[in-house]
Structure 1
Amino acid sequence: MKENRSEELAVTGDQGPAAPQDPAAKRSGFYIIYDMDIEAAARGNGTNSQEFYLEGEQLMNLARVAGGVTDDLILQLLKDCAGFRRLVHSIGVRVKAGEDADSSVVFVLENWGRTSKYETGTRLRLPCPADGSETIVMLDEIAWSSDDDVPGKIAFEFEHAGVLATASVMLYLHEPYEVQEMLPEAAVNVESEDYQAMIAKSLVSPGNNKRLKAAIAKAKRGEAVTIAYIGGSITHGAGAKPLHTNCYAYQSYLAFERMFGNPDRDHIRFIKGGLGGTPSELGVVRYDRDILRGGTAEPDIVIVEFAVNDAGDETKGNCYESLCLKILAAKNKPAVILLFSVFVNDWNLQDRLAPIGWHYGLPMVSVKDAVVDQFRLKKEEGNVISKRQFFYDIYHPTNAGHTIMADCLRHLFAVTDRSEEDREDIALDQPPLIGSDFAQMRLLDRANYDGIATIQAGGFTATDTDLQLAEMDDDPFGTPHFPHNWMHAGDTGHDSFVMTITSRNLILVFKDSGRPDFGSAEIWVDGRMARLADPHEINWTHCNPVLLYQEETSREHQVEIRMAPGHEHQKFTILGFGYTM
């Protein structure tokens, strides 16, 4: 089989080499994807796919979670392509597309290259059936690129967007490598006493319930109620299939509607503003746009979910507390619920963020508190759900995981409903715990800067349309974020972008990108270089907020953005700014 970047593999399971059929000859192996729900998402380039990234420790973590691998030698061999081929004899792929069983599916394995990450590594493409039968690819019959560095990603490509399927990927091992076989697990019993006890453990604090009970009472009276969600990729719905209806946000909204709404009236509104890979540092910038919808929405309940995104928050909790205060200060007195999600390594930032909830008496729900302790138990000891069942990858929940998150919020709603109402409201006239410097944050972009700032765009005159997409609310389609941007397109001149603005704080939001035609830009504030903005530091298309200055009083500043030396002919996109007067 010949393989390179320009001549892709085109071998079906029937045409390709098969694994030994004799059970006695069956090789030891482990799953890296096990019976996982997948969805064909339109990628904007004519491809409809579900992707799993493998670089860094992501492949190792998939092996730990889906395959139960604990052998450190085997895990270390997954770090690079040489070790992968030393360990892996063949790959078994199963795809079951249900109603779309006749669909064409292509299994893709990409290695990142040493010379050019996305261009010089092997790209393996294997057409396979969608009827659940196993297709085998023998690795010793592939002409691997000599420039292969590390495993990059796996993808399943479909003919049409929206196709739902389940997929499994098994790595069969060379002798003498062996792993313990992972047995199938029983479905999670959501009616069991152990399940309900697990859900009850999620309630960190019911908090001051006056605002949440007021929203519940409105819903019971048949009045209009809006429940909104802001957070990262978990709130966006990553891991849920289909994303827009099986995510925890939509499922908990439905639970609230069933519990308190009038079935004869459509009076409970759902707003979802999750955006992958972003912290509360960006959440406080986009709150007015994505949740208040420019003043057209007035949420009664806002769930804030940044407990696994805020490791990169430069303000160390100031933006998170500021966001909570920004919401709480609204005239209609909305309830704020803090939701603490969790990663596969049992980590989140609950210890940093929960004190803010205690400080203001906010209801708090912790998925970590619910599931982590029982992860360590065997079924006979009270285990309800395994990590393989809960996690879609090392960051995001499966449909079962999203259901648990929704049930944790449902439990808070139920506890609040049957509790006596607190007499006094939340006290906001007290010093902040960490800080409130960004509570008045507003978004500035190309559509609204007039009258706020003076801008000379220089060479940043183009508009970038290749933006991070996220399904908002219950929409099945992605909405581009920060469309009113300034882009240096490489051929639009070398002059700097210069902005004069009077403000106390300023956050720049720029576009990260994995594309090689994007380059770095220097950010200068008042004649001094503040930072170098590198869109390849994170290396995928998403919105990156960075703090340029934070001061006690508002004054005039000049911000200059220019392409770094040697990058003058490359691209860079200024998505917008967050500012406080």
Structure 2
Amino acid sequence: MRTNSSNRSYFHIVYNQEVKAVAENEILLDSDRGHVIHRARLTGCVYDEEIIALLHNCKGFRKLVHSIGIEINRKNHVEDDTIVRLEVWNKANPPESITRVEAQCLSTEKETIIPLEDVEWSEEDDRLSKFVFSFEKSDAVTEVSVKLYLHDAYVVPEISMEPVDFHSNNYHQLIKQSLVRTGNNYRVKKAIEKAKSGEDVTIAYIGGSITQGASANPIQENCYAYQSYERFKQLFGSENGNHIHYVKAGVGGTPSQLGVIRYERDICSDGLIEPDIVIVEFGVNDGDDETKGVSYESLVLKILAHQKKTAVILLFNVFVNDWNLQDRLQIIGEHYDLPIVSIKNAVVDQFRLTKAEGNVINKRQFFHDIYHPTNEGHQIIAESLHYLWTQIDKQEWSEEDLELDKAPVYGNAFSNIRLLDRKEISDIAVIEEGSFVEVDTELQCVERDTDNELTPQFPHNWMRTKETGNHSFRMTITSRNLMLVFKDSDKPIFGTAEVYVDGERLKTLDPHQVNWTHCHATLLYNNETSEQHEMEIKMQEGDEDKQFTILGFGYTP
């Protein structure tokens, strides 16, 4: 185990984190929202659920933690005092009732130990709040580290920060673990043979922020999508590989419910592109999917229905808490006999091993934050896809193409869904804009394909402001189903709207539910037959002086 001079086991909850040397700088621990638990899993690489459970409140924290170690590193070697304060709140009456654990640290000292045994805790303390760093001088970039030294009854394994050995046998075994199944290889082999013969082949990626390239640096070169595309070119491209084309359409924080609406626009460029292979990556984005897998299956079927016989590969990434939706969604891939790659299968079990036992990469090395991989993590994802392609290339051709004429697992209600916005207004709908006459230009933006410039999402929208009045947006549409896409925002100027269908209030639309500039898809209705419906969107009473943006709709005729 890891020890300090008192031979206590410890783990980091902050490790070499850069903070601004200002009067006060906070690092949140908020046990109610799980921040300290996320830090323990990510930064401390803690896997023991008993230890994790003790971090949920102050009582457990005191039972677990003997002392706190603080390291302050001023990069310009300035010697000054830093006051470090741990705040613990009484949940019933924050922030008036606070226990403060405070210590003075010198930036030139290796570590300052704050023992907790002499702290006079309030019996009402139940919520870890934050660390506060108060700097004497504010002219230097500063790194801080915080360790939790544990009572003797608790031990955590040692973390090795040796660089990842991408050539070791254990690493190759990790990559092999990612391959869940090759499935029916007919369509993938068709694309591979086209590439080998010099014909044009397009590989496309659709998903959330990991597909967008979040935390890859630089994002366009080191994201898993581009890396795996480059590997495909190297494997199968002829000459310079310019006949292998690349489409990347990841949008952070969005599920397959939005993906199925934007697929033709973002992957197919409204009919200009027919991809040969599409990697679908929504296995960590569909946690709140109100369609319970129907949107994901509909997207898969939408892609497979291309006349070009597009291949679909399902990719399951993983969060720092070892979670994804593989158990729910893998069954779709098995049902249609598709290739499946799981990064969860590759990395999770080995996270718990020591180097001697076969650990290849720890969580601090794989994850940049609780959701997104580091460059090393993106490389592992790319090489897992590369391994799939090499294995399929070695196989004999599947005798027949996929069988798609079968009952769906969860449903296919949205497999023919279409986008409707200001640009794509269809004769199927009659729209009265009311006060929603402006166009919102402050939108969620993403890096598309190989572009470093940001592309705004749903730029052909309808925005209502205080100045445009208080008239409803109305639409009469004949459709089987209807999804609404609206804008989330963290700005207080945005308010809540209500949506009515056929005169009945259906939903309240809160743009602060996610509280960042973001595309939010929600299902309004889903019926067996196509019928005419009247939809109305208006501001909620009391929010008439606020803004609201309708980004677009998805509908099936």
Which residue of the partner structure matches residue 304 of structure 1? Answer: 280
1:266 aligns with 2:242: yes
Cα distance in 2 for partners of 1:555, 1:529 equals 19
How far has the Cα of 1:477 moved from its partner?
A: 2.5
Which residue of the partner structure matches residue 189 of structure 1? Answer: 165
Among 146, 166, 169, the residue aligned to 1:171: 146
Q: How many residues align?
A: 503
Cα distance in 1 for partners of 2:354, 2:280 equals 33
Among 501, 504, 527, the residue aligned to 2:480: 504
Which residue of the partner structure matches residue 43 of structure 2? Answer: 66
Amino acid at match of 2:146: L
Cα shift readout 1:84-129 (whole Å, capped 9, x = no counterpart): 9x99989757699xxxxxxxxxxxxxx9xx9xxxxxxxxxxxxxxx
How far has the Cα of 1:264 moved from its partner?
A: 2.8
Cα distance in 1 for partners of 2:42, 2:199 equals 45
Amino acid at match of 1:285: I
Aligned pair in 2 of structure 1 residues 509, 412: CA closer, same or farther (>3 Å)?
same
Aligned pair in 2 of structure 1 residues 265, 387: CA closer, same or farther (>3 Å)?
closer
Cα distance in 1 for partners of 2:143, 2:314 equals 35
- What 5-or-longer segments of structure 2 have no aligned partner? 19-26, 76-86, 92-108, 115-126, 133-140
Among 425, 431, 437, the residue aligned to 1:461: 437
Among 44, 56, 65, the residue aligned to 2:33: 56
Aligned residues of 2:41 and 2:321 also touching (Cα < 8 A): no
Aligned pair in 2 of structure 1 residues 246, 526: CA closer, same or farther (>3 Å)?
same
1:205 aligns with 2:178: no
Cα shift readout 1:417-442 (whole Å, capped 9, x = no counterpart): 01001110001122222211101011
Aligned residues of 1:234 and 1:274 also touching (Cα < 8 A): yes
| 1:207-356 → structure 2 map (5 Å cutoff) | 207-356=183-332
Aligned residues of 1:31 and 1:169 also touching (Cα < 8 A): no
How far has the Cα of 1:490 moved from its partner?
A: 2.2
Aligned residues of 2:16 and 2:145 also touching (Cα < 8 A): no
- Farther-moved stretch of structure 1 (61-70 vs 520-529): 61-70
How far has the Cα of 1:169 moved from its partner?
A: 4.3
1:557 aligns with 2:533: yes
Give the match's secondary structure for 2:356: helix
Amino acid at match of 2:40: A
Cα distance in 1 for partners of 2:475, 2:111 equals 57
TM-score normalised according to structure 2 size = 0.80
Give the match's secondary structure for 2:477: strand
Cα distance in 2 for partners of 1:66, 1:469 equals 29
Cα distance in 2 for partners of 1:329, 1:462 equals 37
Cα distance in 2 for partners of 1:296, 1:87 equals 63
Amino acid at match of 1:484: H
Give the % identical residues. Answer: 52
Aligned residues of 1:29 and 1:171 also touching (Cα < 8 A): no
Give the match's secondary structure for 2:468: coil
Which residue of the partner structure matches residue 538 of structure 1? Answer: 514
Aligned residues of 1:94 and 1:135 also touching (Cα < 8 A): no
Aligned pair in 2 of structure 1 residues 540, 59: CA closer, same or farther (>3 Å)?
farther
Cα shift readout 1:23-45 (whole Å, capped 9, x = no counterpart): 989x9986445468x9xxxxxxx
Cα distance in 1 for partners of 2:182, 2:480 equals 35
Amino acid at match of 1:543: C
Aligned residues of 1:60 and 1:79 also touching (Cα < 8 A): no
1:435 aligns with 2:411: yes
Aligned residues of 2:28 and 2:131 also touching (Cα < 8 A): yes
| 1:410-489 → structure 2 map (5 Å cutoff) | 410-489=386-465
Aligned residues of 1:336 and 1:362 also touching (Cα < 8 A): yes
Amino acid at match of 1:329: A
Aligned pair in 2 of structure 1 residues 265, 396: CA closer, same or farther (>3 Å)?
closer
Cα distance in 2 for partners of 1:279, 1:153 equals 34
Cα distance in 1 for partners of 2:410, 2:401 equals 21
Which residue of the partner structure matches residue 21 of structure 2? Answer: none
Cα distance in 2 for partners of 1:573, 1:193 equals 53
Cα distance in 1 for partners of 2:155, 2:491 equals 38
